[in-house]
Structure 1
């Protein structure tokens, strides 16, 4: 009975009772009406489920109206416009208290050799815009302490490394270059920002539209308590700070993200507890100012719905919190201690970033599922043309890869059909995720990924479309990390680490890029292994979304993979631990001249310094 009828029975006015008597009565719920109501509800549900599964191959606007009638829409990004170039970089002071532009002792030494440059097994120096440098270990790491104990041969001024404060040097560099950035840069300090969720002064959820571009990137190197820092580790970290943090005029800031595994450390109980944990962690003094501590208790406080915090499953949770607490950066590189740059690290990261920025969105996913092999395709343009041909000018994902559990924040494509885009959308737009190896479709029948059934919180379960790109060394935008943070905190959505960034980026309609970084295989003329990784290439793919057979040879002989021993062997030979006076006994990508060993310009992973 309507409320108005109840009032009429108790209201003294006859006129009001006559008015209420003329009001329409609610319809009786007959069996026929009940059947009709149930049928309509089932039809609407079926349409939503159908579109949520068909979306990977449909333009996003087709199901958008249906989904947004049920789920509240979120604010979408506009189509990005290219950002104006920054002003010229100003020189900064290095660890010798001299401007780097005026300090030969801080310079890397690259030479020209008369032999041909080794052609990568995958990737391309030319297409990536990477310098073809040749350096000895001294030419590469001499400025950072390599060889300094040999007084007869070390020809640089020595540095008292314990007195170096890398946070202060980075802050001084920011002060010199502050005019180049839209906002005055926030200094790098050891002041504790991370707090438990119930004690934090930071908003629990933040979104992309709260920020304007700062044009700066955080380089976050993962570490853990008790790690024994070898001289080689220190050469590597110092070089990363100088070449990326200082020589770029502050466009990067380098941090050490330290996992405190001691469950009784009470890291966040007080400032004193935090400092004590840092001292106990064994982090060298020169790195204290750039160290940020976290532990599993912190993750549990912020992500109680996830229930799994191991690195192999949730390596990006600390990075999500980093983006929440350090929002002064547009992008965040997650690097590892067992990475090595055999050339200038800042130039390498710039090349990767520039390539990703200039890559179009169209078929970016498709290109990421194949390996660019020069001896099979030619240059990258030829490779991209082969991928385009097998996809008939179209793309599997255009806008968000729609699933019912994620409300995308990425822009609506500027044209309805990807065929009508002449590889223009996305050019000049920074990538939201840069992966460092190829991606694969989790739902493909031949996927060998051991984590393919580990997925929780998604309505479609294991049928949810996902892509994984090992290893989990990637760059993510602030917008992407904050979106993942929100989904984990509020909805408990979780997939393994290697799939987290690429999958969430695709679901949100954000830009993905796999630049053609050069990597090598330990046997130069191993055609069988080459074919095993090529797997027929783009021309023989029935879907245009990766090879039909995703199985591949063991990656132990690659210079870049999630496992492998060859990178360590290369470093040992380069450093002289396995030195040979002949080229025949040296890994082919190294060059020997006048008794010195030279390395080409590439990044390697993993390069273990312990358990060798």
Structure 2
């Protein structure tokens, strides 16, 4: 019998159907009913009332949650915790990094501020304006007497730029002549250059009677190839600055002429092609008037010239003009420094000895004179792998041509070649010696060289104390440049004088004119106060004439420069009350006005016996001498920078003395920066004996001058013309360059030599000067620092024309030939 359901049960079934969520699964429904059936309170409610909850229940709002969690809608709590922790840590790191960076940046700013405060100010000369009229051309030439120099100018003179000096004003042109069309036609015309003859009148009866007949020299054995002559222009470019130190007129040098590049170097290969034996450079561009160089003598094919043969023929032909040669020259290979090749290898070997012992017979014997000329060697210092450029070869050709060939052998050029490896057996094998010597020089100069090594010097001058100054050996070329020169002089007794010359020196001077002029001037210098004059730069615009300069030196030496008239003098510390009896006394600590003891005769070291029998002694006292001792005496040492006292200066090598007893102080010494100099045979042999026998030596630039000082030999600083690239006030310049003790260049920490040598950067003669490179390149028609060059010359005043000036250093000039460097042509 069917069970009749009560109303309550029917309502419960409906309730269950209506309570089912459309998206709920059957399992969810079952779970819900099971939960309700197991709950007593719910069961009892069903029995009493069917309305215990609403008829329609939305499951989404029910407080009951499914026991099975869903991972599709939310992230697990553990992952969220780690994620939040990571974000927090990242924020903390970021904040700390910002703080750290801010602190570091602040520290760097503070350090930069401190460094800027401590940073030394640039030297005053860097603020001086550059001079521009060094680069004037041959189209703006004026006579020297009419030139208004751009520099130096007195304080009461108008600046050169404001004078408005025009070509029309200089040449006094009429308005019609100054018309642009006529001016353009005039611009194309320049004055012709002239042949320069600085040599003595060799054919004059007076010269022939005194020195004999000079035989002309040629480049070939047939006596057909002559050397073209140097050519000059009279005058200088308009506004060209005067020399700031030294004087051309004082030395007897021509100061009323200038040299362009073709007139000066054209005879030696500049300006014509390689196919004709030239350098291949400067064939285009500004060349007006250049061909006059080869008008009297054609271009020389330098590929066919062998200088050793030509020089030897020249010396042989003029042997009668010079003193007799020693009967037996030293010929041992190891000890003798042979010239060109090994003398005693074979009897039939061609002898390239520089000075043969007798002249070959000739059909017409030249006349001899009443006196004989001294023999002089010009020794070029180089090394075995030196890279010779075409410009180097031009420089060397000019030296040999002007000093040897055109003078009839008055000078003989040698190459002193350093072999930098001590492992090459040049003294153990003749073939090795000849091979190394042959490979060390360009083909046209082979046969003129001498090899040497530092190991050879160590053997010849053994026993020297090794101080390792600056970590360098005492026998090395840096500290003992003159060791091989000493030994060269010892092995070559035929020479009276030796020029120690370098590969990085250039000059616009004619070589013979320059060497002859400075030698004659040095010969006429009196010994009295000579060392004191040697120690100062001569600035004509401040010091006046040479006689005025010499008088100033005498006063500074006798009385000093520390006077009451000097505001900063310590003498001003004294009490000047006339009523105070102590006013005439100098307080403790104040310097006294005092001069220097003048040098008169040898200056001996305190504790070393260096006296030699050949040392000269003064013929009278210093006070009695009337500036006569030394006049007409050949200088034992000629240098081109002042001979300063290094004691007390900041020069790094002042203490580089070897073998002396320094218990009571260093020996007396003098220094001349740059080793280019002329040394007498007497001085070199004195240096040789000091080194070999007494074991004494000094740094290269200090050794010759100090030896001359200690032995009473005659040393002369030649005040040659020097220029500067900026507008220095001349009174300031004189005070800077003569800032040593009592107006000299040395003897005090204020010396320009040492920490203050940066002041030389703009000069034309110093080992680290920069101005020589600028002048030389611009003069050669090349661009330098984007200035000058072919277009600049053609559009402007033409190619540069420089008066005689000595330049150092000039490093590896790369001439350009047909769009490529001449040293790469081949």
Q: Is the 1:225–1:258 contact (alpha carbons within 8 Å) kept by the matching residues of 2? A: yes
- The residue number in structure 2 matching 1:419 is 623
The aligned length equals: 507
Secondary structure in structure 2 of the residue aligned to 1:223: strand
Deviation track 1:344-371 (CA, whole Å, cap 9, x = no partner) reads 1111011111111111111111111100
- The residue number in structure 2 matching 1:8 is none
- The residue number in structure 1 matching 2:508 is 342
- The residue number in structure 2 matching 1:180 is 321
- The residue number in structure 2 matching 1:452 is 654
- The residue number in structure 2 matching 1:574 is 779
Residue of 483, 489, 496 corresponding to 1:317: 483
- The residue number in structure 2 matching 1:163 is 304
How far off is 1:94 after superposition? 3.8
C-alpha distance in structure 2 between counterparts of 1:428 and 1:269, whole Å: 46
C-alpha distance in structure 1 between counterparts of 2:683 and 2:558, whole Å: 30
Query: Given the superposition, is the C-alpha separation of residues 236 and 97 from structure 1 closer, same or farther in structure 2, using an over 3 Å criterion?
Result: farther
Residue of 353, 377, 394 corresponding to 1:218: 377
Counting only pairs closer than 5 Å after superposition, residues 351-500 of structure 1 correspond to structure 2 as 351-392=517-558, 396-403=598-605, 404-408=608-612, 409-415=614-620, 417-443=621-647, 445=648, 447-460=649-662, 462-500=665-703
Query: Given the superposition, is the C-alpha separation of residues 436 and 586 from structure 1 closer, same or farther in structure 2, using an over 3 Å criterion?
Result: farther
Q: Is the 2:536–2:738 contact (alpha carbons within 8 Å) kept by the matching residues of 1? A: no
C-alpha distance in structure 2 between counterparts of 1:559 and 1:439, whole Å: 18
Deviation track 1:173-215 (CA, whole Å, cap 9, x = no partner) reads 2233222222159999xx97652499999xxxxxxxxxx9961
Residue of 762, 767, 778 corresponding to 1:562: 767
- The residue number in structure 1 matching 2:147 is none
C-alpha distance in structure 1 between counterparts of 2:700 and 2:785, whole Å: 40
Q: Is the 1:369–1:546 contact (alpha carbons within 8 Å) kept by the matching residues of 2? A: no
- The residue number in structure 1 matching 2:571 is none
- The residue number in structure 2 matching 1:301 is 459
TM-score, length basis structure 2: 0.56
TM-score, length basis structure 1: 0.75
- The residue number in structure 2 matching 1:119 is 242
Counting only pairs closer than 5 Å after superposition, residues 17-166 of structure 1 correspond to structure 2 as 87=211, 90-95=214-219, 103=226, 106-113=228-235, 115=238, 118-132=241-255, 133-149=257-273, 155=291, 156=294, 157-166=298-307
How far off is 1:486 after superposition? 1.1
How far off is 1:116 after superposition? 5.8
Query: Given the superposition, is the C-alpha separation of residues 531 and 127 from structure 1 closer, same or farther in structure 2, using an over 3 Å criterion?
Result: closer
Q: Is the 1:219–1:333 contact (alpha carbons within 8 Å) kept by the matching residues of 2? A: yes
Deviation track 1:29-66 (CA, whole Å, cap 9, x = no partner) reads xxxxxxxxxxxxxxxxxxxxxxxxxxxxxxxxxxxxxx
Q: Does residue 329 of the first structure (1) align with residue 533 of the second (2)?
A: no
Q: Is the 2:454–2:477 contact (alpha carbons within 8 Å) kept by the matching residues of 1? A: no
Most deviating of 232-241 and 89-98: 89-98
How far off is 1:601 after superposition? 0.4
Q: Is the 2:265–2:398 contact (alpha carbons within 8 Å) kept by the matching residues of 1? A: yes
C-alpha distance in structure 2 between counterparts of 1:379 and 1:482, whole Å: 37
- The residue number in structure 1 matching 2:394 is 235
Deviation track 1:366-417 (CA, whole Å, cap 9, x = no partner) reads 11110011111122222112112223499622111122231143212110x2
Residue of 432, 443, 466 corresponding to 1:285: 443
- The residue number in structure 2 matching 1:607 is 810
Q: Does residue 550 of the first structure (1) align with residue 751 of the second (2)?
A: yes
C-alpha distance in structure 1 between counterparts of 2:626 and 2:543, whole Å: 21
How far off is 1:263 after superposition? 2.2
How far off is 1:98 after superposition? 8.9
C-alpha distance in structure 1 between counterparts of 2:702 and 2:795, whole Å: 40
How far off is 1:567 after superposition? 0.8
C-alpha distance in structure 1 between counterparts of 2:683 and 2:402, whole Å: 26
Deviation track 1:498-548 (CA, whole Å, cap 9, x = no partner) reads 1100000111111111111111111144558614534469xx817898778
Secondary structure in structure 1 of the residue aligned to 2:258: coil
C-alpha distance in structure 2 between counterparts of 1:490 and 1:426, whole Å: 29
Q: Is the 2:537–2:738 contact (alpha carbons within 8 Å) kept by the matching residues of 1? A: no
Q: Highest relative contact order (Cα 8 Å, sep 6+), 1 or 2?
A: 1
User: Between Structure 1 and Structure 2, whose CA radius of gyration is higher?
Assistant: 2
How far off is 1:168 after superposition? 2.0
Query: Given the superposition, is the C-alpha separation of residues 592 and 477 from structure 1 closer, same or farther in structure 2, using an over 3 Å criterion?
Result: farther
Deviation track 1:450-490 (CA, whole Å, cap 9, x = no partner) reads 01122121123652111111011111111111111111112
Unaligned 5+ segments in structure 2 are: 1-207, 274-279, 344-370, 467-473, 560-595, 816-826
Query: Given the superposition, is the C-alpha separation of residues 184 and 452 from structure 1 closer, same or farther in structure 2, using an over 3 Å criterion?
Result: closer
Query: Given the superposition, is the C-alpha separation of residues 584 and 242 from structure 1 closer, same or farther in structure 2, using an over 3 Å criterion?
Result: closer
Q: Is the 1:592–1:598 contact (alpha carbons within 8 Å) kept by the matching residues of 2? A: no
C-alpha distance in structure 2 between counterparts of 1:277 and 1:529, whole Å: 52
C-alpha distance in structure 2 between counterparts of 1:113 and 1:161, whole Å: 32
Q: Is the 1:89–1:248 contact (alpha carbons within 8 Å) kept by the matching residues of 2? A: no
Q: Is the 2:220–2:310 contact (alpha carbons within 8 Å) kept by the matching residues of 1? A: no
C-alpha distance in structure 2 between counterparts of 1:413 and 1:545, whole Å: 25
